[in-house]
Structure 1
Amino acid sequence: MVAILVRLKLSLLRNALRRSVWRTVGLILGLVYALGLVVVALVGLVALRWTSVAVTADATVVAFAALTAGWLVLSLLVFGVDETLDPARFALLPVRARQIMPGLLVSGLVGSTGVATVLVSLGLLVSWWRGPAPVLATVVAIPIGVVTCFLFSRAGTTTFAAVLSSRRFRDFAFVGLAGLGLLLGVGANLLGGLAGVGLDRWLAVLGDAATVAGWTPFGWVWAVPADVAEGRWLLAGVRLLLALGLVAALWLTWQHHLDKRLTEPLEALRGAGRMRAGHLVDRLYPATPAGAVAARTLRYWRRDPRYVAGIAGFLIGPVIVMVAQLANPDGEPLVAAFAPTLLCWLIGASMAQDLSYDGSALWLHATTGVRGAADRLGRVLSTVTVFGPVLVVLTVLGLLLSGAWWVWPAVLAVSVTLTLVSLGVGSFVGTLWQWPAPPPGASPFQKGSSGGLPSLAAFGVTSGVSLLLAVPTIALVIGSSWVPGLDWLGLGLGLVIGGVVLWQGVVRGGAVLDRRWPEVLSSVSEH
């Protein structure tokens, strides 16, 4: 079964590369980037061979614990997991989760991230080439550590996806987001405070971090070679048992959710058709095609776990910046006050990916004659409905907590300008690039095999052009530090520029959609 699934994964990847130049270029770029990181990591691990045992132990435990945590955090917030072999596709076959899990494990490591992790982990052998005992402990730890990385990613994303699929628990995701933002902000604040200290202080902090990391699930297995090298055999045995127990727990968690996907692949669709007429959502917007599109997409924002995960990803940046500045005694209040403008800048990226998230449901627009401009305007309305209140709350909190309330006209000028231009640019860019997103009801953390580079291009163009168009307003806001009143002029200019860009994005993007509905439908329906 393992060999069959690996061959299937490679065959699907090969066929996907043949169908699209985008996929080939994206794969090459990913491999080059991964190779660069692997080379840097291996050079560092080789250099540790000639340091003391204590320094090697502290550095390797912290680094590999961070690597393990990265598999989980980045899968949840950034990259998702590669489900080229989507388990739901095996639902009609007479197989159980325990039969295909070994194959999914091995095939999941057949990729740039998995191969890079294996290579970097093998470099740990060089660092601990200090005798038979540390080498043997490293040989035992490496496969357990690599499997733990993968299982953290799969068990974490499937568990969180199951939580998000329940509307009752969905809002708790934002509590977790705030906690994660707080931790990352405090960590960035601590690292910033160490920028000017000496080597001895850095080594002391590294030792403290290694002590903490070694007693977390992310660092249990990686601390085993360090314990053996330092003669702490009993402690090494305890951590090894904990690491094995963690692998078993993660394996059973993944198996539980995988069994549900194999036996109940359509569970998320139950009750999808129950919708009350005259709901509040239907009364928010006018009875026009644009209003209908807005009402439908607003329901997606509330009910679809993929959209909830997207909101979390957009919010994490401003939260981290605000927490880092407010927690640092030497932090800059103005940075915390302007942190919410990051969300204004990123709103356009949501518009750029909205068509892809609709998937094959877009055939309704193509066959019923919905004008492209109505589609663009409706999505703008729903996006503003979702992010508008969040922006207001974040802006007020940033101004109050930072104490820099006097810069509110400047913050308002930058926020309004970035919001309008990013919505306009995103409305147009979203009509140029589409890709097959995870289908409704699937894990919001699933990464398809074909959306990488188009998604990256849409994000890069949207954010870059939006920032460029907002430069006049930003320049006036900066100038208001010396010439009072320029911030109000920047607000007026931003309203004009943003209004024109938004109008052009809706109109011209709609015209592109009117010409490309068949191509768009084909691009989002490749699954």
Structure 2
Amino acid sequence: MVAVLVQLKLHLLRNSLKRSVWRTVGLILGMAYALFIVVLVLAGMTALRWTSTELTADVTVLAFSALTLGWLLFSLLVFGVDETVDPAKFALLPVRSRQLQPGLFVSGLIGSPGVATVLVGFGLVIAWARSVPLVVAAVIAFPIGVATCFLLSRAGTSAFASFLASRRFRDLAFIVLALFGVVMGIGGNLIGGLAGRDPSQMRGVLASAATLAGWSPFGWAWSVPAAVSRGEWLGAGLRLLLAVALAVALWWVWGFYLAQRLTSPIESGGGAGKVRSGGFVDRLYPATPAGGVAVRTLHYWRRDPRYFAGVAGLSIAPIIILISTMVNPYPGSTVVAALAPILLALLLGMSVAQDLSYDGTAVWQHIVSGVRGADDRAGRVMSTLTVFGPLLVLLVLVTMILTGEWRLLPMVAGVAFGVALIGLGVGSFVGSLWQWPAPPPGANPFQKGSSGGLPSFLSFSASSIGTFVLAIPLAALAAGSFWVSWLGWLALPVGIGLGYVVLRIGIAQGGKLLDRRWPEVMAAVSEKAA
């Protein structure tokens, strides 16, 4: 059964790649990125061999405990790492869960996350290759730790499958992910500041954190070599016993819920339900084709988890910069914090660039109704401005209040609003060039096959680079305002004027391109994900 499921997984992956050259290229790029990360981690683990055993113990325990916790968190919040071999598909076959489990376990590790975890986990052996007892301890702990990562993921998602499939949880998950990103960014900044000011205190914090992580379920397996290095044989044996018991318990939990899923497959909640009246939203825009597109997409912004994720993703970076510079001040930190809203504006074009892909097969309504490409582009810009315009204004005001850099208000506002308009113009044109199959409305935007592969990468790169290049005059005014103050006031009209011109050109040219490419757009967004 193990060989059958592994072959099935490989066949499914191969067939999915045959359907799209872009997906193949995207997979290659993803594997190259994963390989780069793995090489960096293994290089770091190798470098630890020339440090003290105390530092090696603390770093390995913390790093691998975080890896294990990451598998659980991202599996719960992102709902599944890889369901290519979906257990529910075996519900009509005469097989039991205990027959499927070994094959699902091995096939689940086939893929970039699984292979990368195995290779990174082997870094524990590299780091502790100092003596026979340490090597033996690492060799024993390494497979148990990797198995714990995967089993935590599967047991967690299986146990909470019904709850995870609800829209309420998906909405909550995006908020939690955004907060997690903010906390991680701020935490990294604080740790870096502490290390620079007082390395000895930083070392104590690291040791205390490693001790706590080593006695947590996430670090039981990974801390066995660390305990051996300190001569704590009883502690090492106890951790090993706990790690094995945890793996066995997770295997049993996964098997229990897998058996339930084979007899009662969980169906994800659909979008059926009563039709709600739009109310204020329907009256917000003029009764024109562009206004109709704006109303429809704004409803997506209100109800679709994919758009919630977009708001959270674009807002994380400026919030991290603002908070981290305020809690860990340094010379000029208030100026850096005051410029944080510009980062949100710089990324805004990607929202419009990917909007057409989120429509999926619903694009056919534009095609058959004869909606002009320019109206499509303008409507999406209107709804995006309705969401992010007030957010950008609020962020500018909050940064001024927190930093007290009111002298920078005209410059920051001019550059932020100008860059936002430029980004929307660039995104309107770029979004007409590349599209990709996205998860359906209401689905998890992080599920497998949702990344868009190479078209998504090209769209993001072109939007970001194009916005940055066209905003160079504004950047020059902003830099010059630190020496000639009146240039900051000039940035406001120049930013809005330049942004308006780029926006009009982007909508017009992107619309013309769409009018010629509607069939290709339909084909691109209709391709089924693996």
TM-score by length of 1: 0.87
Question: Is residue 410–residue 487 contact of structure 1 (8 Å, CA) maintained in 2?
Answer: yes
Which residue matches 2:484? 483
Which residue matches 1:343? 344
CA distance in 2 between partners of 1:466 and 1:228 (Å): 54
In structure 2, the residue corresponding to 1:194 is in which secondary structure? helix
Question: Is residue 374–residue 508 contact of structure 2 (8 Å, CA) maintained in 1?
Answer: yes
Structure 2 counterpart of 1:5, which letter? L
Which residue matches 1:407? 408
Could you list the per-position Cα deviations for residues 70-93 of structure 1 after superposition, in whole angstroms to 9, with x for gaps in the alignment? 546677999984444466766777
Stretch deviating more after TM superposition (244-253 or 463-472): 244-253
Could you list the per-position Cα deviations for residues 242-288 of structure 1 after superposition, in whole angstroms to 9, with x for gaps in the alignment? 545665469848986994997343523231xx223352221112222
Which residue matches 2:371? 370
Stretch deviating more after TM superposition (137-146 or 253-262): 253-262
Which residue matches 1:467? 468
1:479 deviates by 0.8
Stretch deviating more after TM superposition (230-239 or 244-253): 244-253
In structure 1, the residue corresponding to 2:270 is in which secondary structure? helix
Which residue matches 1:30? 30
Which residue matches 2:109? 109
> Relative to 1, partners in 2 of residues 1:406 and 1:185: Cα closer, same or farther, differing over 3 Å?
same
1:187 deviates by 2.6
1:345 deviates by 1.2
Stretch deviating more after TM superposition (98-107 or 400-409): 98-107
1:494 deviates by 1.3
Given candidates 267, 270, 282, the residue that maps to 2:269 is: 267
CA distance in 1 between partners of 2:101 and 2:507 (Å): 46
Question: Is residue 436–residue 525 contact of structure 2 (8 Å, CA) maintained in 1?
Answer: yes
Which residue matches 1:396? 397
Could you list the per-position Cα deviations for residues 463-518 of structure 1 after superposition, in whole angstroms to 9, with x for gaps in the alignment? 11101111111210221111122122112111121111111121111111111111
Which residue matches 1:382? 383
TM-score by length of 2: 0.87
2:175 counterpart of 1:174 = yes
Mapping of 1:104-503 within 5 angstroms? Answer: 104-131=104-131, 133-151=133-151, 162=163, 165-167=166-168, 170=171, 173-174=174-175, 177-178=178-179, 180-195=181-196, 203-240=203-240, 243=243, 248=249, 252=253, 259=261, 263-271=265-273, 274-277=274-277, 279-330=279-330, 332-448=333-449, 451-503=452-504
In structure 1, the residue corresponding to 2:387 is in which secondary structure? helix
CA distance in 1 between partners of 2:56 and 2:425 (Å): 52
Question: Is residue 161–residue 443 contact of structure 1 (8 Å, CA) maintained in 2?
Answer: no
> Relative to 1, partners in 2 of residues 1:308 and 1:46: Cα closer, same or farther, differing over 3 Å?
same
CA distance in 2 between partners of 1:114 and 1:73 (Å): 15
Question: Is residue 177–residue 312 contact of structure 1 (8 Å, CA) maintained in 2?
Answer: yes
> Relative to 1, partners in 2 of residues 1:227 and 1:453: Cα closer, same or farther, differing over 3 Å?
same
Structure 2 counterpart of 1:267, which letter? G
CA distance in 2 between partners of 1:97 and 1:292 (Å): 50
CA distance in 1 between partners of 2:362 and 2:255 (Å): 30
Q: Which runs of 5+ in 2 are unaligned?
A: none
Could you list the per-position Cα deviations for residues 124-154 of structure 1 after superposition, in whole angstroms to 9, with x for gaps in the alignment? 2233345554444323322232233345566
Stretch deviating more after TM superposition (64-73 or 356-365): 64-73
CA distance in 1 between partners of 2:153 and 2:198 (Å): 35
Question: Is residue 163–residue 169 contact of structure 2 (8 Å, CA) maintained in 1?
Answer: no
Structure 2 counterpart of 1:265, which letter? E
Stretch deviating more after TM superposition (42-51 or 238-247): 238-247
CA distance in 1 between partners of 2:156 and 2:301 (Å): 22
CA distance in 2 between partners of 1:160 and 1:173 (Å): 17
Which residue matches 1:43? 43
Question: Is residue 424–residue 502 contact of structure 1 (8 Å, CA) maintained in 2?
Answer: yes
CA distance in 1 between partners of 2:256 and 2:306 (Å): 22
In structure 2, the residue corresponding to 1:125 is in which secondary structure? helix
> Relative to 1, partners in 2 of residues 1:457 and 1:176: Cα closer, same or farther, differing over 3 Å?
closer
Q: Which runs of 5+ in 1 are unaligned?
A: none
Question: Is residue 167–residue 303 contact of structure 1 (8 Å, CA) maintained in 2?
Answer: no
CA distance in 1 between partners of 2:398 and 2:161 (Å): 28
In structure 2, the residue corresponding to 1:446 is in which secondary structure? coil
Question: Is residue 163–residue 170 contact of structure 1 (8 Å, CA) maintained in 2?
Answer: no
CA distance in 2 between partners of 1:154 and 1:489 (Å): 57
Question: Is residue 181–residue 316 contact of structure 1 (8 Å, CA) maintained in 2?
Answer: yes
1:333 deviates by 0.7
1:217 deviates by 4.6
> Relative to 1, partners in 2 of residues 1:477 and 1:123: Cα closer, same or farther, differing over 3 Å?
closer
Stretch deviating more after TM superposition (391-400 or 46-55): 46-55
CA distance in 1 between partners of 2:470 and 2:255 (Å): 46
In structure 2, the residue corresponding to 1:430 is in which secondary structure? helix
CA distance in 1 between partners of 2:155 and 2:396 (Å): 35
> Relative to 1, partners in 2 of residues 1:168 and 1:383: Cα closer, same or farther, differing over 3 Å?
same
In structure 1, the residue corresponding to 2:196 is in which secondary structure? coil
RMSD value over aligned CA atoms? 3.5
Question: Is residue 82–residue 448 contact of structure 1 (8 Å, CA) maintained in 2?
Answer: no
Question: Is residue 325–residue 335 contact of structure 1 (8 Å, CA) maintained in 2?
Answer: yes
CA distance in 1 between partners of 2:403 and 2:255 (Å): 43
> Relative to 1, partners in 2 of residues 1:88 and 1:430: Cα closer, same or farther, differing over 3 Å?
farther
Question: Is residue 375–residue 511 contact of structure 2 (8 Å, CA) maintained in 1?
Answer: yes
Question: Is residue 57–residue 223 contact of structure 1 (8 Å, CA) maintained in 2?
Answer: yes
Structure 2 counterpart of 1:420, which letter? L
CA distance in 2 between partners of 1:35 and 1:236 (Å): 32
Stretch deviating more after TM superposition (447-456 or 96-105): 96-105
Q: Give aligned-pair identity as a percent.
A: 56
CA distance in 1 between partners of 2:515 and 2:181 (Å): 42
Aligned length: 524
Mapping of 1:503-518 within 5 angstroms? Answer: 503-518=504-519
Question: Is residue 87–residue 262 contact of structure 2 (8 Å, CA) maintained in 1?
Answer: no
Stretch deviating more after TM superposition (105-114 or 480-489): 105-114
CA distance in 2 between partners of 1:206 and 1:279 (Å): 54
Could you list the per-position Cα deviations for residues 4-29 of structure 1 after superposition, in whole angstroms to 9, with x for gaps in the alignment? 33323322332333343333333333
1:321 deviates by 1.0
1:372 deviates by 1.4
Stretch deviating more after TM superposition (36-45 or 420-429): 36-45
Structure 2 counterpart of 1:295, which letter? V
> Relative to 1, partners in 2 of residues 1:157 and 1:399: Cα closer, same or farther, differing over 3 Å?
farther
Could you list the per-position Cα deviations for residues 437-456 of structure 1 after superposition, in whole angstroms to 9, with x for gaps in the alignment? 12234333213077222111
Could you list the per-position Cα deviations for residues 324-371 of structure 1 after superposition, in whole angstroms to 9, with x for gaps in the alignment? 101113260111111122111111111111121211121211222222
In structure 1, the residue corresponding to 2:348 is in which secondary structure? helix
Question: Is residue 224–residue 240 contact of structure 2 (8 Å, CA) maintained in 1?
Answer: yes
Structure 1 counterpart of 2:271, which letter? L
CA distance in 1 between partners of 2:105 and 2:463 (Å): 36
Question: Is residue 472–residue 490 contact of structure 1 (8 Å, CA) maintained in 2?
Answer: no
